[in-house]
Structure 1
């Protein structure tokens, strides 16, 4: 990086990337898709509906009693128990309203809870391709932010619709009996307000869906910046990342302001309708009282019913706003819930698989039969988008590399990763996969683990097409150590027992010593219960890698898949690790990826990959003679 690439006081602040990109409108949901989330709580909703009916009855009775009180006062008749009954109805109505509010709040929280459980269960069962195509922060946003909007559906008027409808209809009937003329005038005012709200509600739903997409992008931006904070600081890119994430926040803010503007038109409509209706009733009603068409008591009763008519209307308008916002979020929730899980993919993959051959004693542990693989369209599109963002970053940061150079990188291209790969791994053998970066070595292990299925060809385990096996049963045969194996936040024991929850403390300590992590145990009095920090920050890179290997060894599977498992180790620890692997390799099959040929020269079989094709197979001594690429690699590493 050149010196002038860093922001200075004279250089303008980089323009936020978020303000340059147009985000496609998020998925929409229908009201019918919202109902299952609500109807999960039918018993409570029934109680709420009954309370609404009782509350509506108590509310509707109050204006009638007030009218009778006024009549008796005018006629100088005794009030009797009317005042007591009226007070009792007010108290009963208040108690019902309070308890109903509690049930609504609790049910709203339960809806959010159940939707989050469904989302979490679905997300953690999605195929790996979905994680490669989506950003982690966006998925987290759907679990957190999007589900929260479902809470407002119940707490802002929807679940109280039964009581409000009864009050609305009851008030209409009573007002029609008292004075049909006044009622017609009121309905004209209400009709206009309803039309306006319906026209605005569609805009709220569209803007809300877009806002949730923006919030998801913001969460992804924050997750990316925080997750790589050390790299960001070391590169002097803090201000650029702040500008970038702030740009995404600005986009979410702008959409939120648009929603606020539309909502600001919807919310006061009920109040305007009440004020106009009240003016009409006072003006026209006063005239009709003066002409003797109705009495004062009837006018007062009509006005009270008018308030009862407008209150549910206002609540309905609020419910329309909250439901439309929730539908925007529900579209994103439903999008994930509609995605097939790995287990749902199993049946389709098994149908495509070749009929399993009879198992024979000499069948290899693993066999690749003319395997071809290309990443799915959504993954390719995600990589292309990432490349586009990289070009934007480079242009704004004014780095030495140009956007054209980034565009030429093969990462964003839609190319076959494997092209007719065939080789066999004998049972109990140690097989190494070697070759330059991008040759397809890690993809081979991903296909063995069925993170993806081949585009063509077949992969066999003990003579059976792995697509005919359930993924959980298949993966139980493997111990897999990724190239950058993550360390989970928690303790050393938490990480070790991820695949072996029943392992004892003694077994955990034994496997840690086998991979030369004794000093990690001794540096903290808590031993295996010592915390490792977020992403294993309290461990060195080599210690994190050895911990991942220890986790695989603890599970003691028949086949070990190691992707660059010793890349972060120094010479001494690498030799100790090789000794540990030798000790556990007895009776097991090992498939190892390595750039350091010194770690695999004694393998039973070495498979050389280049540009997604097998260019050589054999032992070290055979390949040095037969395969030019391997000979060059060995010569470069001073092994020949």
Structure 2
């Protein structure tokens, strides 16, 4: 996969990547067979027209027989009608097949990507993935639809035309066969260069997509720091780089097309010159020369068309190679061959036993080191510490977004590395600090907590999260579209939607990443009450940035450098742990012992 730098990949020198299309074509092989049958009939009809022309000239025009002329014109017209009907049918079937195959490829790539673990996205840009889903699949669609239709038609015309050239005049056909390698070899050589330029062009398009995605998702930050001109300049430079690479590819494509056409028709001219001398010498009739001329035009036109298509086929092969990379990607978090089953609802006992972990992007810096933690069923434990202490990593590992490198994590005594990740995550509810909302209604955003929930259950969860009042005040209530990433809501409102999701899911284990950090005082009190009810008889881990929210928690873990530095309640830690006392001093007025008032 491409990393942030967008490094160019070496271009393959073969069309083997196109073989990856076959698994997507196989389910529709009946359509392919029907298209091939229509192709054969259309091709046969087209190849009979020169024969009709030969006899029209030799038996009609030369003999001046009107009846014969009419008969062969009738055969010529019939062949043209058969060709047009079956050519249209072939075009429809092959184009339908191309559209269907590309739709299936997009679906397969998307299904693969959404199942990749966070380690994959540490080294893969979102814009790169989007480029492959759009630009690359469009290139594949071109060759698997119209391009495939044209390639099949011209290939059949080339082969059939060559065979009939031999039957018409073996000597002239021999000259033609000698000329074909003179056309094909330069085309293949230039086509390899086009393939490399195509890969580079697609990578540059991916760069522009990644930059646009990054900017558009941070538009308020861009405008707040008046970075519009800087980002516009960066995007213009990326677009210019993409354009220059595309121009180099187009220049090479134009050279390939011009060269192939010049070579083909130069060869035809020489061959026809030889044929005209044969007619003058009486070695062949005028009708035979006309027939040979038509077949030569068919062969020449098909050769030129295939030469032009070769560049597009090379581009499609490059695009399919990039898509195949995604389809071959394997998540590091996999379901074991025989996963340990989890009960329908776990009791919620959590055990971290000597856990060590490094993020793939930071292999030299331990995120957790010899980390151990025992949480009883129904217990609430808070994690505090400076930024980078490893608090969020505890959540990431418990959700099995990553596997530990040493030690183990158990839930109810079951090693989570031996379970199905989906079964594990179904037992855990998460309220993140940065709420992610989807571009749908308020009702559906909450329903993500439990997709099968009824409307009444969704509304009840919203009421418990103190979200019902502001949702009802929206223009269409629960059916209001919230905008991409929930842009129509305030930060506190988005947070309450996230809390409602967790309430609706009703999990035995709850992870709260400072779930009330974006709320005003009134909403915080309401939500805190809802959370206290939700946390009852439920194992809860809380990442706390504001110590005021965890003063009632029975056990607080102070973390630093990926280790547990101290454990106790709020008052014990203030008295015994300097780091916790320092954190508390930054948030509370401790001049008067026993009176902690949150500072402004």
Q: Same fold (TM over 0.5)?
A: yes
Give ranges in structure 1 of 5+ residues lacking alignment: 1-19, 381-412
Q: 2:527, 2:53 → 1: CA distance?
A: 89
Q: 2:523, 2:539 → 1: CA distance?
A: 22
1:290 aligns with 2:277: no
Q: 1:618, 1:544 → 2: CA distance?
A: 33
User: Is the contact made by 2:356 and 2:404 (CA closer than 8 Å) also made in structure 1?
Assistant: yes
State the Cα deviation string for residues 594-621 of structure 1 (Å, max 9, x = none).
1111101111211111111110111112
Q: 1:39, 1:508 → 2: CA distance?
A: 43
User: Is the contact made by 1:26 and 1:213 (CA closer than 8 Å) also made in structure 2?
Assistant: no
With structure 1 as the length reference, what TM-score do the two structures score? 0.86
User: Is the contact made by 1:157 and 1:315 (CA closer than 8 Å) also made in structure 2?
Assistant: no
User: Is the contact made by 2:50 and 2:291 (CA closer than 8 Å) also made in structure 1?
Assistant: yes
Deviation at 1:332, TM superposition (A): 1.3
User: Is the contact made by 2:172 and 2:274 (CA closer than 8 Å) also made in structure 1?
Assistant: yes
Match for residue 56 of structure 1?
43
Greater displacement, 135-144 / 170-179: 170-179
State the Cα deviation string for residues 498-543 of structure 1 (Å, max 9, x = none).
0212323333222222222243123225221122112111111111
Give ranges in structure 2 of 5+ residues lacking alignment: 591-600
Match for residue 597 of structure 2?
none
Match for residue 576 of structure 1?
526
Match for residue 396 of structure 1?
none
Report matched runs for 1:231-270 at 5 Å.
231-270=221-260
Match of 2:382 among 397, 416, 432: 432
Q: 1:525 to 1:483 in 2, by over 3 A?
A: closer
Match of 1:211 among 178, 183, 201: 201
User: Is the contact made by 1:27 and 1:332 (CA closer than 8 Å) also made in structure 2?
Assistant: no
Deviation at 1:189, TM superposition (A): 2.9
Report matched runs for 1:213-228 at 5 Å.
213-228=203-218
Match for residue 585 of structure 1?
535
Match for residue 489 of structure 1?
439
**Secondary structure, aligned partner of 2:574:** helix
Deviation at 1:639, TM superposition (A): 6.2
Match of 1:556 among 497, 503, 506: 506
1:75 aligns with 2:57: no
State the Cα deviation string for residues 267-292 of structure 1 (Å, max 9, x = none).
23443234213321332222222222
User: Is the contact made by 1:485 and 1:545 (CA closer than 8 Å) also made in structure 2?
Assistant: yes
Match of 1:42 among 14, 20, 29: 29
Match of 2:351 among 367, 373, 376: 367
**Secondary structure, aligned partner of 1:432:** strand
Higher relative contact order (CA 8 A, sep 6+): 1
State the Cα deviation string for residues 218-270 of structure 1 (Å, max 9, x = none).
11110111111111011010000011112111222122112111211222344
1:462 aligns with 2:412: yes
Match of 1:614 among 564, 585, 590: 564
Match of 2:460 among 507, 510, 529: 510
Match of 1:346 among 318, 322, 335: 335
User: Is the contact made by 1:27 and 1:331 (CA closer than 8 Å) also made in structure 2?
Assistant: no
**Secondary structure, aligned partner of 1:347:** coil
Match for residue 451 of structure 2?
501
Deviation at 1:44, TM superposition (A): 1.1
Greater displacement, 37-46 / 457-466: 37-46
User: Is the contact made by 2:6 and 2:207 (CA closer than 8 Å) also made in structure 1?
Assistant: no
Greater displacement, 594-603 / 203-212: 203-212
Report matched runs for 1:501-540 at 5 Å.
501-540=451-490
State the Cα deviation string for residues 67-117 of structure 1 (Å, max 9, x = none).
111111212344062221111001111111112111222111111101011
Q: 1:457, 1:611 → 2: CA distance?
A: 17
User: Is the contact made by 2:211 and 2:235 (CA closer than 8 Å) also made in structure 1?
Assistant: yes
Match for residue 12 of structure 1?
none
Report matched runs for 1:265-280 at 5 Å.
265-280=255-270
Match for residue 596 of structure 2?
none
**Secondary structure, aligned partner of 1:44:** helix
Q: 1:504 to 1:639 in 2, by over 3 A?
A: farther
Match for residue 9 of structure 2?
25
Q: 1:137 to 1:269 in 2, by over 3 A?
A: same
With structure 2 as the length reference, what TM-score do the two structures score? 0.91
Q: 1:81 to 1:451 in 2, by over 3 A?
A: same
Q: 1:530 to 1:170 in 2, by over 3 A?
A: closer
State the Cα deviation string for residues 443-502 of structure 1 (Å, max 9, x = none).
110111111111111111011111122111111111111221211111111110002123
User: Is the contact made by 2:566 and 2:573 (CA closer than 8 Å) also made in structure 1?
Assistant: yes
Match for residue 310 of structure 1?
300
**Secondary structure, aligned partner of 1:614:** strand
Q: 1:630 to 1:49 in 2, by over 3 A?
A: same
Q: 1:586 to 1:363 in 2, by over 3 A?
A: closer
State the Cα deviation string for residues 137-178 of structure 1 (Å, max 9, x = none).
211111111111111213344345555444323322332233
Match for residue 324 of structure 1?
314
User: Is the contact made by 1:369 and 1:421 (CA closer than 8 Å) also made in structure 2?
Assistant: yes
1:139 aligns with 2:89: no
Q: 1:600 to 1:157 in 2, by over 3 A?
A: closer
Q: CA RMSD in A?
A: 2.4
